[in-house]
Amino acid sequence: MDSGRKTLKKGVRPDNGVEVFRFNIDGPGESNRATGGKVENRNRLQRERKGEKDMNKRDVLRVDLTHGKVEREPLNSKWEKEFIGGRGYATKLLYQEMKAGVDPMSPDNKLVFATGPLTGSSAPTGGRYMAVTKSPLTGFIACSNSGGYWGAELARAGYMHVVLEGKADKPVYLWINDDKVEIRDASKLWGKDTHVTTDALLKEVGDNKARVACIGPAGEKGSPIAAIINDKHRAAGRSGVGAVMGSKNLKAVVVRGSGVFEASNPGALKETLKTSLQKIKENGVTGEGLPALGTPVLVNVINQLGSYPHKNFQESYMEEAEKHSGETLAEKYLTGTSNCFACPIGCGRVTKLDDVQGEGPEYETLWALGASCGVADLEPIIRANYLCNELGLDTISAGSTVAASMELFEKGYVSPEELAGGPELKFGSGDALVYWIEKMGKVEGFGKKLSQGSYRLGESYGHPEVSMSVKKQEMPAYDPRGIQGIGLTYAVSNRGGCHVRGYLISPEVLGLPEKLDPWVTEDKAQWGKIFHDLTAAIDSSGMCLFTSFALGADDYAALIKQGAGIDVDAEELLKAGERIWNLERLFNLREGLDPAKDDTLPKRLLNDPIPGGPAKGKVSMLHEMLPEYYELRGWDEKGIPKPAKLAELGLQ
Amino acid sequence: MVRVSFFGSIRSITHENETEVPAPATMRDLLSLLSSAYGVNFAPGDEFDGWTVSDTETGGVSVMIVLLNGRHIQHAGGADAPLSEGDHVAIFPLVGGG
């Protein structure tokens, strides 16, 4: 049944040629329990309150995989105002509905595919979705953000969020075709990689315009560093969200939607879109650097600063980095660029190796699979990157885990016999990288240990210190000893080691919005707090963080208000970001977060000076930033939000 | 000699990845020398935003990042930073990512 199918209206076509569709302002969907895994929203058209510009435009789809039931619920408009959507709204939902101490891999964990109010709109880069759940890697909140086209398709189908509960008794996939929702058998796809799965599902649903988000073998077998891959090449990569999907026997979510977006205030939005696109176009990073060079061009920049972690952070400058730089990638393997939905930037890199075409590697991946493992040449890095996408692994954690295993091997903690004939785990070995990434993704042999991530791997040998992680999640591609502020972000990030909870590289390296000295700690706590709050709000909006090189809080607030009808100004948006950050903190504290133990960096970064290169002698001075950060946050000296702060944010 | 490395789109201007020049007195002098050598205008600025490379034919202007021995030039003395034998200067276009 297809009663709610909406007519596709002609959209606008921004500069990049990506067609942007608009959504109807629908009334709130009724909670509609159906049997047999189907929602048939027969009266939906009658229930649409046309012209009513309230916030209940899209619904929440709740899927009980244990009992095969699907419900449709209205959005909570109060939560939208307070938490915007995406990351914020989903965290609120999990905090409200889940008890503390839930095993992340049990049916009691919930996984939310969350879009923002601007996902699927004509807002520049408005195509993001997030996978939010309790992480099997960290034990804390997970929120992995992805681009591509899947999120916008979900929005077009009429949903803001999909809440997945329970566990199916056999492998299944979810087929969301506008108002028609089915839980279908996926037994034949279990064990298949993400590309085979995507192709097979598109064929099965008979609509090659549908979009697929799925897991590979890594997620099926419970690797806590497993990713969800959508549109074949885009990843909700971090914190093991793919493993949670696998624990529910859910192979994929396939989406097709036909809705159109109508702005709350079309006239005002048109002007705001014009100025926002202009700012993005005129900005050096979003208008020139990223479109022309993508993220890989950072390899040489960060290496020349001497803050490019090498050999599992044992060094921080790689003599041969040029070999896998963005410049070399462009010269030898680049075949084109790619844009996500409604993106005027187009940072995606399309590459080809032998006869295989893929996307990436991006900067973080080049580092994790390259410098971190001591591998200079691009070919094995590209090959390993493709494998990560196909097998469903987070490239940052996967590369860092191989790097940790190489350190374990070279120090004699892992014996050659354990490798059962596989290549020796020596820094610099491209053969070992490719071989062991495949074993990791397939969770086979020694790959089983690797698939657990660097912390559990190191711990199993009595050497967790080789894990370059925070809260058990591997850190990205910037050495906090040479770039102090990013170390603060790593340490306090609610999802563990992460750079995109507050990208202080922007002021510390790029000089945007102003240049800060990366070697000093002064003012970094203040900058960190602002970046963390704004990032939480941007993530929740459904726009890409890269726009923040060019746009400010007032731009985002205007887009959210005029586009989605959520009445926020810049100050309220930042307050929403602060509220989201604090709620994530409360979630983690409820799950047993110990700030003294968890808000820190690996001892190597606190105690061992960088041994050579431009930042020689530097260590992280986190202790100079953390107390100030807590104070600015309105938290006590132990890192616990004070009652007054919680009351101010409505979180008491 | 001072070693000067070029990265990203700067290479499409210089058509080489690296050069060596006798050590000029200051960073400002080095940029003048490079401007003459490559037929473009490498311009220092007092502010971060002021460091640009412009194509004298097309008029196109790009912001650049300049490092002196791995330190951003703004934290290494700016345009008047003295240069010495063996120094390494790296010039990038403004890039970003994550």
Model confidence pLDDT, tens digit, residues A453-464: 999 999 999 999
Average confidence (pLDDT) over A226-249: 98
Tokens for A23, please give them: 């959504």
Predicted ipTM?
A: 0.95
Domain ranges, residue B7:
2-93
- CATH placement of domain A291-473: 1.10.569.10
Tell me the pLDDT tens digit for each residue of A382-391.
999 999 999 9
Average confidence (pLDDT) over A27-50: 33
Specify if B82 maps to a domain. Answer: yes
Checking if the pLDDT of A196 tops 70, the result is yes
Structure confidence at residue B46 (pLDDT): 67
Specify if B74 maps to a domain. Answer: yes
Q: Which residue from B17, B67, B95 is facing A297, i.e. has the nearest CB?
A: B95
Which residue of chain B comes nearest to A486, CA vs CA?
Answer: B98
Q: Which residues of B touch A321 (CB under 8 A)?
A: none
Q: What share of chain A in percent tops pLDDT 90?
A: 89
Specify if B43 maps to a domain. Answer: yes
Specify if B67 maps to a domain. Answer: yes
Checking if the pLDDT of A18 tops 60, the result is no
Structure confidence at residue B49 (pLDDT): 61
Structure confidence at residue A119 (pLDDT): 97
Average pLDDT, chain A: 91
Eight-class DSSP state of A496? S
Cβ under 8 Å to B: A residues 190-209: none
**Quick one: pLDDT band at residue B95, thresholds 50, 70, 90?**
confident
Which distant-in-sequence residues (6+ apart) come within 8 Å of A61 by Cβ? A39, A70, A71, A72, A73, A159, A161, A162, A163, A176, A181
Q: Which residue from A297, A306, A545 is facing B8, i.e. has the nearest CB?
A: A297
Q: What CATH code is carried by the domain that includes residue B39?
A: 3.10.20.30
Class of domain A44-256: alpha beta
Task: In chain A, list all ranges with CATH 1.10.569.10.
Answer: 291-473
Cβ under 8 Å to B: A residues 586-615: 613-615
Q: Residue B95 and residue A517: Cβ atoms within 8 Å?
A: no
Structure confidence at residue A3 (pLDDT): 31
Checking if the pLDDT of A118 tops 90, the result is yes
> DSSP string of A130-181?
EEEEE-TTTSSEEEEEE-SSHHHHHHHTTEEEEEEES--SS-EEEEEETTEE
Q: Residue B70 and residue A304: Cβ atoms within 8 Å?
A: yes
CB atoms within 10 A of CB B1: 11
**Quick one: pLDDT band at residue A284, thresholds 50, 70, 90?**
confident
Q: Does A330 touch chain B (CB under 8 A)?
A: no
> How far, in Å, are A36, A80, A486 from residue B96 at the CA level?
49, 31, 15
Q: Which residues of B touch A294 (CB under 8 A)?
A: 97
Strands A172-177 and A69-74, by their bridges, are unpaired
∠ CA A639-A640-A646, rounded to 5°: 130
Q: Does B54 touch chain A (CB under 8 A)?
A: no
What distance lies between CA A310 and its chain's CA centroid? 24
Domains held by chain B: number: 1
Structure confidence at residue A117 (pLDDT): 97
Tell me the pLDDT tens digit for each residue of B4-56.
999 999 999 999 999 999 999 999 999 999 999 999 999 997 655 678 998 87
Structure confidence at residue A13 (pLDDT): 30
Average confidence (pLDDT) over A273-277: 98
Tokens for A526, please give them: 């203040």
| Lowest-confidence region among A54-58, A157-161, A431-435, A533-537 | A54-58
Q: Residue A301 and residue B72: Cβ atoms within 8 Å?
A: no
Task: In chain A, list all ranges with CATH 3.60.9.10.
Answer: 44-256
Which residue of chain A comes nearest to B52, CA vs CA?
Answer: A284
At residue A366, the 3 state secondary structure works out as helix
Enter the pTM of the model. Answer: 0.92
Tokens for A218, please give them: 């890594």
Fold classification of A480-549+569-649 (topology level):
1.10.599
Specify if B98 maps to a domain. Answer: no
Q: Which residues of A touch B48 (CB under 8 A)?
A: 511, 514-515
Tell me the pLDDT tens digit for each residue of A457-513.
999 999 999 999 999 999 999 999 999 999 999 999 999 999 999 999 999 999 989
Tell me the pLDDT tens digit for each residue of A324-380.
999 999 999 999 999 999 999 999 999 999 989 999 999 999 999 999 999 999 999
